[in-house]
Amino acid sequence: MTARAGFLALLGLLAAAGGAGAQPDPSQMSGIPLPDAELNDGTVSVRVIRGQLSNNVPDQLVELRHGDIVEEAMTDAAGRATFVTLNPGQQVQAATELDGVRIESLPFAAPGRGGVRLMLVGADPDRPVEPAPPGLVTFGGESFIQVEIVEESVEVYYVFDVNNPAQVAVEPSEPVVMTLPPGAQGVTVLPGSSPRTSVDGRSVDLSGPFDPGATPLRIAYILPYSGNSLAIEQAFPVDWDSVLLSVEKLGAVDYVSRQVNRRVEVPSETRGGTDYMLGSGPRVAAGTPFTLELAGLPHHSRMPSNVALAIALVILGIGGWGAAAAPGPSAGDKGRDRLLARREALFMDLVKVERQHRAGKIGATKHKSRRAELFRALERVYQRLEEDAASAVPTGAAAAEG
């Protein structure tokens, strides 16, 4: 087992121990996949109920989504829909719309041996739903941040558990909404996160109410950088019980955080493996920015392009009076917009490739070649953006002369 795997396994045990005290009711079990060795290999059984285990919902349409493909099946008299045409390892998600409300499961991997059972639980019409009382939630002590180093960018993973220590579901006084750092791109909800997790640009929202125990919040994003350092600042909507941080140790990479008061370097147990720097610290209050400064990042020198841009700015400054007569958006402006959109799409593809590699869907060779291909494409996009910026210089000068 690698050092990182051991670290993550320890966090998993801590999470399991934290939620062991509460006995879940059917609504708390809704959408949670459970392995079942008695089912045929690759089978997923989805049971739909209203409120109580005795209230099966027959003749209910259930869908199972994998990628862009959606399979459909109807529930039988026992409220169960069965799917059997699955490929092991692919990420799937079950869903149904009951009484006008869409109910989704957590994403999970289709089993290779044995099957998976899960329930989708709707509201009981005979039991009116009472609003959850106000209560306090925190990011549990097993929550952590992981930072991975890639070319000219870092991948940041938030692996949080929203912890409710009460015995009943609660609604926090402030919504669990956070805005990611400026420059964050390719924001992705990771498998295992609560189905209520939503992303809008840099805004991440996990709506309540929150059942007793832990509600998972898992997201990732890419943060590009230039130069050899990067500062990350993130304020959280609830208290973070205790800081846990993992940063990939690549070359001269190091980090500083005023919220980390204990750190240790964990070397890989395998040749060519990944080393990590782990850090921990005390509680971080809601609204207090968590700061992380990375130094020694690998990068390609951008001095030539920076010098070219500086010269361009000087020339544009000399002839700046002509800008008042400049026309509206030009074909060049539209081309730049297309390049920026292309850059965003490439970053999202990069996130997808990394997720596929971590899930074991693609091997090391394909992962390496695809990543290299994406970085080459990104390099071309950045080069085009710089060329477009430089090409604006003669146009400005000509306008000034005119």
Q: In the structure, what pLDDT confidence band is assigned to residue 330 with cuts at 50, 70 and 90?
A: low
Residue 350: how many CB atoms within 10 A of its CB?
Answer: 23
- Pick left, alpha or beta for residue 343 (phi over 0 → left; psi -120 to 50 → alpha; otherwise beta): alpha
Identify whether the C-beta of residue 381 lies closer than 8 Å to the C-beta of residue 346: yes
pLDDT for 314:
45
Q: Is the pTM of this model over 0.85?
A: no
Q: Does CATH number 2.60.40 belong to domain 138-295?
A: yes
Domains of the chain: which residue ranges?
31-122, 138-295, 303-401
pLDDT for 57:
95
- 350: Cβ–Cβ under 8 A, 6 or more apart, which residues? 150, 186, 222, 371, 374, 375, 378
Q: In the structure, what pLDDT confidence band is assigned to residue 48 with cuts at 50, 70 and 90?
A: very high
Report the candidate in 399, 393, 391 with the shortest Cα–Cα distance to residue 336.
391
The per-residue b/e assignment along 30-41, b for 16 or more CB within 10 angstroms, e otherwise, is bbebeebeebee
Domains 31-122 and 138-295 in one fold: yes
Q: In the structure, what pLDDT confidence band is assigned to residue 127 with cuts at 50, 70 and 90?
A: low
- 402: Cβ–Cβ under 8 A, 6 or more apart, which residues? 322
Report the candidate in 202, 126, 135, 129 with the shortest Cα–Cα distance to residue 167.
135
Average pLDDT, the chain: 80
**Mind listing the pLDDT tens digit for each residue in 20-29?**
444 457 887 8
**Mind listing the pLDDT tens digit for each residue in 201-250?**
999 999 989 988 899 999 999 999 988 999 999 999 999 999 999 999 98
3 pLDDT exceeds 70?
A: no
Task: For Cα atoms 157, 2, 246, give the angle at the middle one, nearest 5 degrees.
Answer: 30
Q: Return the CATH fold of 31-122.
A: Immunoglobulin-like (2.60.40)
Q: 152 is written with which tokens? A: 């000219």
pLDDT for 97:
92
2-11, 141-150, 182-191: least confidently modelled range: 2-11
Please compute the mean of the pLDDT values over residues 14-35 and round it to a whole number. Answer: 64
Residue 190: how many CB atoms within 10 A of its CB?
Answer: 19
